């Protein structure tokens, strides 16, 4: 009886672990994420930062050839990190 319960429990846990997520490869996936305004990430944004933010671009920090266009906004827009 114990072996049946253990087998059913492990099968249920395996089914929960391996279903439901595609690993972020969906075609219609959102291009932004927001954590209560504290941190916001926009993929492939390429838009300029506003005048009321402290903007830092990655090309100012180090030289790089392949920019992603991502924009990370911290503390409700106070700091903006741009990868372009």
Q: What is the pLDDT of residues 22-68, one digit of tens each?
A: 555 556 666 777 777 778 888 777 777 778 788 787 777 777 777 77
Domain boundaries, the chain: 2-82
Alpha carbon 45 to chain centroid distance?
13
82 to 7, 11, 45, 58, 65: CA distances (angstroms): 50, 45, 9, 6, 14
Question: What is the reported pLDDT for 25?
Answer: 59
Question: Can you tell me the mean pLDDT for 67-74?
Answer: 80
Residues linked to residue 55 through DSSP beta bridges, in sequence order: 80
Handedness of CA 10, 15, 21, 22 (dihedral sign): positive
Question: Can you tell me the mean pLDDT for 6-28?
Answer: 71
Question: Can you tell me the mean pLDDT for 75-80?
Answer: 81
- pTM reported for the whole predicted model: 0.54
């Amino acid at each position: 009886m114990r072996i049946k319960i253990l087998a059913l429990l492990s099968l249920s846990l395996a089914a929960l672990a391996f279903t439901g997520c595609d690993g972020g490869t969906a075609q219609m996936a959102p291009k932004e994420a927001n954590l209560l305004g504290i941190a916001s990430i926009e993929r492939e944004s390429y838009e300029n930062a506003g005048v009321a933010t402290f903007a830092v671009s990655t090309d100012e920090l180090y030289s790089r050839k392949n920019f992603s266009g991502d924009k990370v906004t911290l503390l409700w827009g106070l700091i903006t990190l741009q990868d372009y």
